[in-house]
Chains A and B, each alone.
Chain A
């Protein structure tokens, strides 16, 4: 046995970590996840099934009352709208970012990332200013003559979707940008030399190869949008109630923990199903050209 250079923390070649070191490095992360995420979630799910007694009544209430199913469906619909809009707005930006170099690239990058440095609340408040009856958008529309009197913008689903898209756009742009950047330049050249126009190079090569980025961006945006709280609460009316706001109401105003837990359970089910479908139908590794 060569114990001379063997350390408890890393092997003598200095590259691989020992099992103990690996455990120590990962432990804080898993500890936090376990205590602040898995434990409370399990607790909520437990409550949804076992309070006041072992029952499915809480779930029955979610399904039975059309108001609540409507809230759930609206939440899904809003998240889908936000995701779709983010793809449409984000892809060209990501594509542009992946093409430019130097100072311009840095500038675009900063513009994309900068909003992440301010809080969601600030950004949402900014939108509520813009959407006001006497806000910039209405004044502009009236000045141009599109409308003679202010349109109702604030407290509409449109306002919620636009503001949420704005907040979530970087999470769409960055993954798409990442995959676009990873497409070797030679693929574009190969496509060109094989006879593809710029448009066909884009539709036949670049677009399919960037789908993994679009998929992961969509998953990020969609899942985050499902649980969005501040923006719908500030920019939407009660008619635009989304599930996160509903859960909050149930817990803080009605104090109905079992029902709120059941809502969380349904949402968790959605999220899990969605993640499963994504990972089964889209072979990310294949798209990325990984060895199989």
Chain B
């Protein structure tokens, strides 16, 4: 297999990835349950979910390590569903670097070119170039075990891009690194993505990583996509109760909702009744039903701000944390409420055990059918 590579530095254009009705069963367990994802060329997509959500199985199916029970995967115009991994020409970075310990750094990076029959001089030149791209020029003669974790992962990146794949798959590539290195590598990966124009599919269980790095995030649970969209949409308008609870912090209050269309009213545990704007209902409501009112802790305002509904909270704890303070309190029915207050807020009135008044701005309220645990 001798693939011809242009020797001038052409930008590797990313390819679109299309996942259709993907299903994967392991005996009786359904790991992936009818997933559709369209990743456009050059997009950075994160697959986010708790363990067992199927995110890794999806990635493994794209990589060719798992073959789906049904459904299809295509990259560009090519159907890759049952193509073996070594014929897919995709780049991949693993969680544990997986640099071959018996090869030098340069040989590691040149390995995929060697497999493609690129002549020795050219493959070493291109490996050096790839190392320079990840800012490790001059490290080629070292052995992987002489590098730090962050450096090893950068070598793995260089090895994954040296043959200019159109899609780069990343399986929790930063979870083995400590916090500082992780942030450094996040920037590094973002920079590479911008520079190469490559399509990236990035698996993570770290939501802040997903939100900060990806153009779009797909939230998964039990093998199904819960929501797929840009970070901001995911955070500000979670599509369902699971996403609302999974992404960031959220207060949940069980209520009874009535009405439909432009006229929704909810009955709070305290007996109060609020008239909500139609936009509050994320999923359509039908008549009178159990519902959950959700609001982000940082949207709550101390005191009556005259722009929404007020309610009373018994103060259980106040944690001062510099830029913001966290107030933990309870509603009369003992629902826990958290509020993040700007650092400059006057907290002197919030004695433990006292009652504080908070305002929920109308536009901050989200309403979901169902009940919080």
Interface of A with B (CB < 8 Å)?
184, 186-187, 189-197, 200, 204-205, 208-209, 286-292
**A190 and B92 alpha carbons, distance in the complex (Å):** 8
Q: Cβ of B86 and Cβ of A289 under 8 Å apart? A: no
**A287 and B95 alpha carbons, distance in the complex (Å):** 21
Q: Cβ of A193 and Cβ of B145 under 8 Å apart? A: no
Which interface class (under 10, 10 to 19, 20 to 34, 35 or more) fits B? 20 to 34
Q: Is B284 an interface residue (CB 8 A)?
A: no
Q: How far is the CB of B284 from chain A (nearest CB, A)?
A: 43
Q: How far is the CB of A268 from chain B (nearest CB, A)?
A: 33
**Which B residues are CB-close (under 8 A) to A194?**
86, 92, 111-112, 115, 159-160, 163
Residue among B64, B65, B86, B144 having the largest count of chain A Cβ atoms under 10 Å:
B86
Interface of B with A (CB < 8 Å)?
1, 63-65, 84-86, 88-92, 94-96, 98, 100-102, 111-112, 114-116, 143-146, 159-160, 163, 169
Q: Cβ of A287 and Cβ of B102 under 8 Å apart? A: yes
A196-B86 in contact given A184-B98, A189-B65, A287-B101 (Cβ < 8 Å):
yes
Q: Cβ of B96 and Cβ of A290 under 8 Å apart? A: no
**A189 and B145 alpha carbons, distance in the complex (Å):** 20
Residue among A195, A287, A290 having the largest count of chain B Cβ atoms under 10 Å:
A195
Q: Cβ of B63 and Cβ of A208 under 8 Å apart? A: no
Q: How far is the CB of B112 from chain A (nearest CB, A)?
A: 4
Q: Cβ of A189 and Cβ of B101 under 8 Å apart? A: no
**A191 and B102 alpha carbons, distance in the complex (Å):** 13
**Which A residues are CB-close (under 8 A) to B160?**
194
Q: In chain B, what residue has the closest Cβ to A189?
A: B65
**A205 and B115 alpha carbons, distance in the complex (Å):** 12
Q: Cβ of B63 and Cβ of A289 under 8 Å apart? A: no
Q: In chain B, what residue has the closest Cβ to A201?
A: B86
A204-B145 in contact given A187-B98, A194-B159 (Cβ < 8 Å):
no
- Can you list 15 contacts pairing A with B, beta carbon distance less than 8 Å? A184-B96, A190-B92, A192-B64, A192-B85, A193-B85, A193-B90, A194-B115, A194-B159, A195-B116, A204-B111, A208-B102, A286-B145, A287-B101, A289-B145, A290-B145
Q: Cβ of A189 and Cβ of B86 under 8 Å apart? A: no
A190-B101 in contact given A200-B115, A286-B143, A292-B145 (Cβ < 8 Å):
no
**A189 and B86 alpha carbons, distance in the complex (Å):** 9
Q: In chain B, what residue has the closest Cβ to A205?
A: B100
**A290 and B144 alpha carbons, distance in the complex (Å):** 10
Q: How far is the CB of A162 from chain B (nearest CB, A)?
A: 33
